């Protein structure tokens, strides 16, 4: 079953790389959207963050999201959703 996680990120973003590393190490499936390559994705990030262009934004299947989460917060969210 796909976990239906979407991560809005960019290649230059260190926090994005860290979150990707964590998800990959936990074998969590996710869809990666590059905000540099997709202008509508960049607008979506600004909308989600109430005007801020902070990334990564990780959107979960329950409709919630985390912006620039620590590995601890991201892992706790994955556990809460029974993804890991």
User: What is the chain's mean pLDDT, rounded?
Assistant: 95
Position 36 in a domain:
yes
Position 12 in a domain:
yes
How confident is the model at residue 58, as a pLDDT?
A: 98
Domain holding 18, by residue range, is 6-80
Angstrom distance (rounded) from CA 9 to CA 1: 23
19-50 pLDDT, tens digit each: 999 999 999 999 999 999 999 999 999 999 99
Number of continuous H segments (helices) and E segments (strands) in the chain: 3, 4
CATH number for the domain harbouring residue 23: 3.40.30.10
Position 1 in a domain:
no
How confident is the model at residue 1, as a pLDDT?
A: 41
Residue with tokens 């996680």: 5
Q: How many CB atoms lie within 10 A of CB 51?
A: 8
How confident is the model at residue 56, as a pLDDT?
A: 98
- Please give the structure tokens belonging to residue 64: 């919630």
How confident is the model at residue 3, as a pLDDT?
A: 58
């Amino acid at each position: 079953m796909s976990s239906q996680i979407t991560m809005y990120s960019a290649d230059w973003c260190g926090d994005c790389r860290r979150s990707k590393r964590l998800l990959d190490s936990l074998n969590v499936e996710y869809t990666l959207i590059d905000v540099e390559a997709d202008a509508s994705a960049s607008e979506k990030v600004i909308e989600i963050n109430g005007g801020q262009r902070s990334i990564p934004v990780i959107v979960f299947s329950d409709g919630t999201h985390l912006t620039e989460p620590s590995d601890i917060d991201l892992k706790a969210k994955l556990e809460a959703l029974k993804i890991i």
